[in-house]
Structure 1
């Protein structure tokens, strides 16, 4: 007999090795899912649209009949795919759809008939979204150590090196797939949806929940088109700051490394540069576009740093930060670790007094 499970118990089973199975359509899955879930769709995108049309134009009964016609031939393959994906001896698979309705109920029932352990997630993905919303609304986050500094000092690279050394880093730009600047989207592909960004951010914070502090890069509330949850952003603003500085020539080289395919992306830089006209004026923007046309990347970057980024971000320097001056990535990693140690003589309270 198939049974349902609530979201907290489902996430606990997932931590113990249970397979999460999203049976929604590929489009729904691509927009957002529970991190770690695999997609075994009952209906493809076209079939889901067809059933929706029948439901709205004819009625529920005909839509259900058509759904059964479409899914019946697929059942053996769906069950095999789920069974093959389960680790031997793992807890029951957790099956979910949008709101814990007919799609997940049907697959859980067939799995039960086939003797494959499975549980239906009560409330479906909507229950997970409520869980995420509650987490970001109620959690008291750990002490935040926030790495700030002018554009091009390599803050992201420094933090990713610390990830390799198991420091509790939250890489917001990595999760958002955006560099957090006017040119931040170039060469990186699409950003995730807001819901998926929040889901993977929740997942990363869960991985770090036993740490007494968190390290992250200073960001505005928006990273591209995505929004950092308010309570987390406030914790960042209230955190201790590490200000990283580097010579201008070093910063230019860091940015050149950030855009290795810049020649092939030259046309994509034009709209971003043109958008600076209001702040820099027509003449300066014309000069920048001329440098772009000549593919004089070092000089273009120099002008953008001196004319745009440095004046813009000068006001973001916090009062009384721990200052770090670096001349290379290795030098920066060493000094950043020293700065972290300097800021942690006091033992802070553990974060996350509620379940993840």
Structure 2
């Protein structure tokens, strides 16, 4: 029988195909990029086996498990595993700790004539490896933050740097109160795993210095690892500047034109109504911070802009609430942040200057 595979570095650097034999409820809480969930047991079956284990012990639980997954049910699951193994001869299977579930799956595949390797230590060992990958990068690498007012195009700059780590990309969120995408966010575990794999691959290419966007602890519903967030309170900063006109145009593109298109692509005819609801809801989320009068004024501007967009497709009216929100809310907040972080800012410039600086900035010794 195949040896257990414990070279976790190889698994993630080479995107080894994997099938996860844990129950769907476990998989939903967190898994690894590109992994397929082909469970040994459904959530209900796993629950029954767990209850039996508590009440009658391990042997009775094993017997019940084999009763629940037998006959046609077993044949269908083995067939799904066999199809995966044949499609991915370089792949692996795993369960939570590399214990009984993956052993059973491996044995049943063996009985079907397929010798397929599993991951020693399972999900838990791989997850531990990825968390350690983040910690090692924080201890061994150089980090610099990219800051700037809302709409200056920080994400665009990151996209042009090979040593950037796009936290918002991994979280599938644009970072602000308006930052939710039409597609949902990953679980927090998935977010951390994506971040770790990104760092692992970049370090394997020889990169030891990374640029991150200056973020809050929460990017939507995804929380930055605590050690990373704490580190970011001391990392040096580069500040990106752009004109108000360019910023309004960029926000109009990202948060109105592109986001409404995302919703329409995902939800068809209902997409625009869902987009409009999301936009108004995002404004309502900062109601208290805006204050009643300002919120009401911006809300009416947004409603009028959405009505015109629905009627004619014209998005120009959106500029009014965007300018109001920047001038009266985001800019004063960011100006305060810039002042409080002033001692850490080592360079200020426009897109071209910041890109040039970050591409040529020598790594700082840790």
Q: Secondary structure at the match of 1:148?
A: strand
Query: 1:302: which partner in 2?
Result: 323
Please tell me whether residue 284 in structure 1 is matched to residue 294 in structure 2: yes
Please tell me whether residue 106 in structure 1 is matched to residue 104 in structure 2: yes
Return closer, same or farther for 1:267/1:16 CA change in 2, 3 Å cut-off: closer
Query: 2:164: which partner in 1?
Result: 169
Range with bigger deviation, 222-231 or 137-146:
137-146
Q: How far apart in 1 are the matches of 2:12 and 2:158?
A: 28
Deviation of residue 240 (structure 1)?
3.1
TM-score (norm 2): 0.80
Q: Secondary structure at the match of 2:4?
A: strand
Q: How far apart in 1 are the matches of 2:361 and 2:2?
A: 52
Number of equivalenced pairs? 330
Deviation of residue 277 (structure 1)?
3.4
Q: Secondary structure at the match of 1:205?
A: helix
Q: Say if 2:248 and 2:322, in contact at 8 Å, map to a contact too.
A: yes
Return closer, same or farther for 1:188/1:141 CA change in 2, 3 Å cut-off: farther
Structure 1 unaligned regions, length at least 5: 326-331, 352-356
Q: Pairwise CA RMSD of aligned residues?
A: 2.7
Return closer, same or farther for 1:17/1:136 CA change in 2, 3 Å cut-off: closer
Query: 1:314: which partner in 2?
Result: 335
Q: Say if 1:24 and 1:42, in contact at 8 Å, map to a contact too.
A: yes
Deviation of residue 155 (structure 1)?
1.0
Return closer, same or farther for 1:288/1:141 CA change in 2, 3 Å cut-off: farther
Please tell me whether residue 245 in structure 1 is matched to residue 241 in structure 2: yes
Query: Which of 50, 75, 81 is the equivalent residue of 1:73?
Result: 75
Structure 2 unaligned regions, length at least 5: 261-271, 306-316
Query: 2:178: which partner in 1?
Result: 183
1:42-61 superposed matches below 5 A: 42-52=40-50, 55=53, 60-61=58-59
The answer to which structure has the higher helix fraction is 2
Q: Secondary structure at the match of 1:208?
A: helix
Please tell me whether residue 216 in structure 1 is matched to residue 212 in structure 2: yes
Deviation of residue 287 (structure 1)?
0.6
Q: Say if 1:266 and 1:292, in contact at 8 Å, map to a contact too.
A: no
Deviation of residue 255 (structure 1)?
0.7
Q: Secondary structure at the match of 1:119?
A: coil
Q: Secondary structure at the match of 1:129?
A: helix
Deviation of residue 339 (structure 1)?
1.7
Please tell me whether residue 82 in structure 1 is matched to residue 107 in structure 2: no
Query: 2:151: which partner in 1?
Result: 152
1:193-212 superposed matches below 5 A: 193-209=187-203, 210-212=206-208
Range with bigger deviation, 68-77 or 102-111:
68-77
Please tell me whether residue 136 in structure 1 is matched to residue 134 in structure 2: yes
Range with bigger deviation, 312-321 or 59-68:
59-68
Deviations 1:205-240 (A, max 9, x none): 001112131122111122112221233234434333
Q: Secondary structure at the match of 2:118?
A: strand
Query: 2:114: which partner in 1?
Result: 116
Q: How far apart in 1 are the matches of 2:51 and 2:182?
A: 36
Q: How far apart in 2 are the matches of 1:112 and 1:10?
A: 23
Return closer, same or farther for 1:10/1:151 CA change in 2, 3 Å cut-off: closer
Q: How far apart in 2 are the matches of 1:16 and 1:305?
A: 43
Deviation of residue 258 (structure 1)?
0.8
1:32-51 superposed matches below 5 A: 32-51=30-49
